Amino acid sequence: MHYTDLPFGDTNGHVVDPELIVGRIIGNSASEMTVPLRASIRVHRGEPDYHFTKECALLTSGRGDGYLEFEASVDDVHDLLIEVGSHFSSGCVDTIKRRVVEDVDGLDVTWVFTSNVAQVPSRDVLFYRDHCNAQAWSGVVVTADLPIDFAEKKPFAFACCCQAGRYEGLGVMGIAEAFMLNEAPAYIGATENSYTSINDVACRWFFDRWADRSESIGQSFRQLK
């Protein structure tokens, strides 16, 4: 279904507000689709190296047009997670701003991102805010950069940007597929273009609800929709 999964969550004719939780396990073969399924089950069971404790997050902003708004959005989510999250702590919620990494620190942002992902304690949440496309979190991580080391946790990846959830009809692997083949058990990414200000509100709303509740990512995301 091009551009939207909303009709798949609808059984009562209210397509814009579906009442079901719909998740896609994406891949080009049965063996590829098995990877995120297996990872999700192992996370649910709490198996070794598949922990998910909602403690550590890595929040990253790019430097596309309007980068100051993206940076402000990342700062807002950072403060919110520490304020309302029952487990997130200030020492385990970090931000990466591509502009600062490159211009102030003189470092390669992809190296900084992947190094932070692999650190111990490793990350439960990877959040990205900027422009995207079907194969990239623009300027930070692209399909070719994966697999990357997730260390002992398998993270929920949230690309709050345009098209980073597209996976069909590309002719090549998309960034969403690459994350799921890297054993990310949950991934949110848009299948269409959207407006910056709306995304700012939506991602904050999601984290404000999900960070301090026992409900699943899917349940919170359904309410967001």
pLDDT, tens digit, 9 for 90 and up, residues 76-120: 999 999 998 778 877 899 999 999 999 999 999 999 999 999 988
pLDDT of residue 169: 64
Tokens of 13: 């004719």
| Mean pLDDT across the chain | 89
DSSP E strands in the chain: the ranges are 57-61, 93-97, 125-129, 132-133, 136-137, 141-142, 156-160, 186-189
pLDDT of residue 101: 97
Residue pair 73/129 in contact (Cβ under 8 Å)? The answer is yes
In the three-class reduction of DSSP (H, G, I as helix; E, B as strand; rest coil), residue 128 is classed as strand
pLDDT of residue 60: 98
Cross-strand partners of 133: 136
Topology given in CATH for the domain delimited by 6-224:
Rossmann fold (3.40.50)
**Predicted confidence (pLDDT) at residue 214 exceeds the cutoff of 60:** yes
